[in-house]
Structure 1
Amino acid sequence: MASPLKQQQLINSLHTGFIDKDNISLEKYRPRLLLNNHKQGKKVLSSIINELENCDEFFFSVAFITYSGVLVLLNTLKELESKGVRGKIVASQYLNFTDPTALRKLLEFENIELRMVVHEDLHSKGYIFKKDDEYNLIVGSSNLTQNALSKNKEWNIKVSSTDKGSLIEETLKEFEQTFHNSVEVNEQWLEQYDLIYRKNKENSERVTKGELGLFIAQSPEAEYKVNHDLRPKISPNKMQVKALGGIEKVRERGENKALLISATGTGKTYVYTHTIYELHKRYGLNKFIIAVPSLAIKAGTAQFLRDEYVKRHFSDVCGYGTEIEVGVLEAPKNKKKGRSYFPSVVSDFVKGSCQNTKKIYVLLVNMQLLVVRSNGMLSRDDYDYGVEGFYRPLDAIRATNPVVIIDEPHRFSRDQKAFKVIVDEIKPQCIIRFGATFPETTSGRGKNKITVKDYQNLLYDLNACEAFNQNLIKGVTKEHFEPVSKREEKVKITSITTKDSVTFQYKKRDESTKTFTLKTGDSLSIINEAFEGITIHAIGKSTVEFSNGIQKSSGEELDVDIYMTSYQEQMIRLALERHFETEKANFCGRNFKIKTLALFFIDDISSYRPNEGR
């Protein structure tokens, strides 16, 4: 039972909500009207997510559930599953509007019990959240759809109660009764409902109730004009259509190698994903390896393949009716002594059954892991456990007879180790390379030396100029900056004596060069007053660190006019100036606002964030 203090806080909040708005009380217990108002930044969704993040248990009773409604809560539901927070959701089959895809997604959560009311019309829209001895109840007009939670004109009331309150007791009793009288949602039930749902979308005629209480009603889209998916339809562009046609021709000729050239940004990732689905549909292939050159590309590819909208596009819009299961191979982070376990991602890939026509298995790997050495993750054979009789991962992968897709092939030249592992160790039935640039091969010597691009079975070629002409990519403008003061003064580090001194040369146009030798603690203003406040903090074997945190090596120069600001820092400053100029033009005085983004590319994560966690 709630403590006397908590009871008094609740009483005061109810007094504020129902009797005197000027009464002082805790806001979290006050009755509230929850609305969607984009001008005020209000969403019913925000309140639902906040309650979920702080509850011990939750109960939803709604008439309709759409896939987009589940997606907006997906990350929150995953977090609750990891914390072991359980929930119950009951929905209605009224008008057959609830999306079976949404129900399938909810079935993936082990902490959620899912049921459907099929023998009567359920119109409730209620959300109950339990935390210790408290309950928060949201009741109103919002179904579990993206529009209802974020966009539509909806009215919902939120009230709080202790576990002894009569209102929450009656509400929970009604929920449990409805839940008990409903049908458990499982794959067998969903298969039947899915047929009726699809048929219902194709025609609007009514039919009588069938087995399990399933029925087809008039199209709810026409009655409620609900936008089922706010995102635009995905469809292949001109390049992607032609490239897919080329791949089909190569396969028909019985070739086992092919390549596609397409300018950066034209959609190669979509093409090879579409290729995977098409090869599965036509030839029953369901084992694919995607080899990429870097961790950044691997992360981006994994995100694309796992995106729920992408999955739905290929499964439903394109009509493939199957789904890619992505396994991302990662290097072991902590090498502990003791048992040595076979890589689980490889094991799942190898065990994936070719009899399952609804699954395509994709192994995503970066080139650094495709190596053969004694302690290599894929090449060692001393694991305590194997898979399907194999103890060496490369041997197990080869046995699946996969198709290998290579992204950025200019990084996978024929003499490169990763490419040799693909050809000699994995021995795939087919290699398809997708890229904007390709490696070169050289033959002959002297005057007979010939260097050509490494093309083999070129099925499509789209250069940057043609891509621009087809409006597949945008033009790029380039800008150079000039030194701030144009004083043309520089300071060069000529030599460093370990932990002792640093020798500088001061250069200025039309003046003789001056030499300065400074020690730890000395100010650079000795060389030029522009460096006022900057001192030598430490001297190493080949580097010197200044008091502003910048490190320089022997031979490097310092720009006097910008206080040692590096070339990169000047570029960032200019980029930020241009960003705000562009943002002002894109935002002010426009009916449709355009969001402006500034992107900064780095060579490697470690060069930007060298210490993990900092």
Structure 2
Amino acid sequence: MDNLLEDFNQSLYKGFIDRTISHKGNFMPKLLINNKDENVLSTIINELYKCKSFTISVAFITESGLASLKSHLYDLNQKGVRGKIITSNYLGFNTPKMYKELLKLKNVDVRLTDVNGFHAKCYIFEHERYASMIVGSSNLTSNALKINYEHNILLSTQKNGDLIYNIKAQFDELWNKSIPLSDAWIRDYQLIYDEQAVKNTLYITKEQSVIQNNIEQAVKIEPNIMQKEALQSLAKLRKNGKNKSLIISATGTGKTILCALDVRNYNPNKFLFIVHNEGILQRSIEEFKKVLPFSKDEDFGLLTGKHKESHAKYLFATIQTLSKSDIYNQFGQNHFDYIVYDEAHRSAAKSYQKVFNYFTPDFVLGMTATPERTDNLNIFEIFDYNIAYEIRLQKALESKILCPFHYFGVTEYIHNGKPVDDFSSLTDLTSDERVRHVLEKTQYYGYSGEELKGLIFVSRKDEAKELADKLTLHNLPSVSLTGEDNSEKRQQAIEQLKSGEINYIVTVNLFNEGIDITPVNQIVMLRETESSIIFIQQLGRGLRKSENKEYVTVIDFIGNYKKNYLIPIALSGDQSQNKDNYRKFLTSNTALMGVSTINFEEVAKKKIYDSLKQVKLSAASHIKQAYNEVEQRIGRMPLLMDFIRQNSIDPSVIYSKDSSYKNYNDFLVKSKKIEEQLNKNENLNLTFLSREIAPGLKNIDHTILNAIIDRPYKINELLTIAQNLDPNVTLEDVQTTLKILDYSFFSDTINKTYGKPIITISNDEVTLTKSFAASLEKPLFKIYLEDIIELAQYNNKTYQKNQNRLLLYNKYTRKDFVKLLNWKSDESGVINGYKFGNNTLPIFITYHKEDNISDNTKYEDEFLSPDELKWFTKSNRKLDSPEVQKILAHQNNNVDMYIFVKKEDVLDGNEFYFLGKAHYLEGTAEQSKMPNENNDNIVTMTLSMETPVKDEIYRYILDT
């Protein structure tokens, strides 16, 4: 029987007749809903990636919903894949601007139906030998694709199936009766749409408008989620006797309102608000007045170069004025009860420190979006390490505090088929060709709202001016701003952008902080990412909510830059320095909660992968920087778990095999953070604990070790302890753990690497060895051990879901496998591609081989589909070889076959994705020849995956 037909039969049988069968097939009917692990959008993107053509029939489309597909449609256009969309103007929901966005899609034909009550939601994808469709409740809107509670069914069918035939026939009939979308149609629709908008506005009376304004005013001063939690934390800190505190909050999350709410709760006699920018002071006073509506105008005063209203109850001062000795000496040191330092990361500067050291208020609050500094000045120390609350970009988006965004990583200008990444001269930076490329991308990805209000970040001052001039010539009035421009010119440009007099402000890192241009609806990054902090600061310039926009478009031009790896670090907020985390982030379509999306054109994504390959994130410099940042935050020597708690480096990076350090003590000593206090065996034992226990592969490992520290145990007692934690634990699992702890699991030479064993077993009783017990008498060693056990608990809960077994799509080494499957000893070093052991047959595949490997090992293993794998045995094997016969009979002999695959050695190291169990497909084994000079014999066969490989993993592995 044809494999495709067999796959359909199995899928349909499981989907409609018997859900308990083990083989799912690749075409399982599937219910699509929106949750944290999967959403309708991710399924649509996965189907688009695989299809040869597509048709979409939906009543409602929003600009934001369309934006979430634009980069994927662009990539399809590059591959020559076309599609069709049918929509309508039903209920006047679709905006004229959205229709204009549809016309930008070069590979999509769009038609409009006038069917009365058109309310269809159907997505059809034509593949090589089959078709798939999504039918249900989701229109092409961001909420329907990512947020709303939706019910959709994903179905697949062979091309001659009756269902797909009828659906396509219905679509074609509707298509033939519909009219093509055109500029002329949009102009006519605009008149009707505007007329209806005016009518809708007239329904609101003047009295209703006043009521509405009052309601909106009340809503503005209602604490959001972040503010409520932060206010509670501030009150708790003060109750515990703390008089200084720091709030870390992403730009646009309402720090000033939060501050005003806390001041209202505190009710000081005299209050001082300090910042570096007079424009911020004016806006801050406005915010305070909203929160303190019963205060008189004369209660609020300015202390600046032009204003000296020092008598005010609520005084708002610029640091430039306040830091002058003749100014701050006018006040008594305890004149103010409550002082706020906005943009507190500046407070280590000399001007701030003069003020900070002079005044002695009852309470001091610092507020900042980016406390990390590059000048070794410690903001956390200034505020006594009291972090009241911290909310970064990802949490703010999830809490719907910020305006959503659609990020697009796009390719830099390509000249004569080659990327032009080295823009060393102004001529290259602002050439007509590059400007046209920039305009093409910015116009394609567009913006939300009726008027373009954009910020462009460039790398040079002369580039900013030249680019602004050229954009103006292209009917996009633009102004350049650099650090050489005074505050008056900056403010004038901002007002011009807000009013619509200009479309762009082009700048060089000038607006990284402290500037509030709420209507900004497009951010363009035309420079290399040098810092994840600056990246987020610049992106944040557009994230304040505004009536003129539904979302912000962020367009990042990505060239062959060495620091491209910083992009996923910045967007994910993940400082772990774990390459696999960043790989997952780049391939995930559910990376951000809410309607925000992160999209990369395929060429741009490859540039980031290339950057990740080249950078060594376990380099000593990265580790030392992470250590210093955490130490600054907590005011003491960090332990491994402190790196986790402070959202810093993954501790395993410190003592990985690619690192310069064997364990954390080794790092501390070599970095001169502490003097050596451990002997040689203790250091070796610490390496064992770090590499074998800390990863948390099995929760019984650290549980049993933790138990034995207190007293000796019988093996059956340890089994009871382990089963209380996980009822599925077997005696074999416990025995493997004990073999690991007494080193009998490893080779005879393991003592050179790990020192003396941790435990000894005698008469079925397990105790600590004398050497390990003696080590625990040292306070530092005991601290290290307790820290590692806590880290193991965290890792097991986070990555293994408190399990002691293989989890689908987790990454594992060969050694991890033999531990989890309870092999009698560590044979991971001789498994290579595959090996029988303990009734298991693990197969390890490197999908993309390096060019420099031997021809004898260049096996051309290949996925034929997400549930079928063409696999090669080792060389010098024939069909009648005993080993091959054993493989072919693995099911009859009850030997489970496990498939592990990694994309390539450089990016994945020695870890492989576990893709599930598989079995040999009868009749597919063939004898063949290796592509080497000896033409060695080899056997190929097709393996059937029990579970089809998840789309994003499958796509990542196959992409070159």
TM-score, structure 2 as length reference: 0.28
TM-score, structure 1 as length reference: 0.42
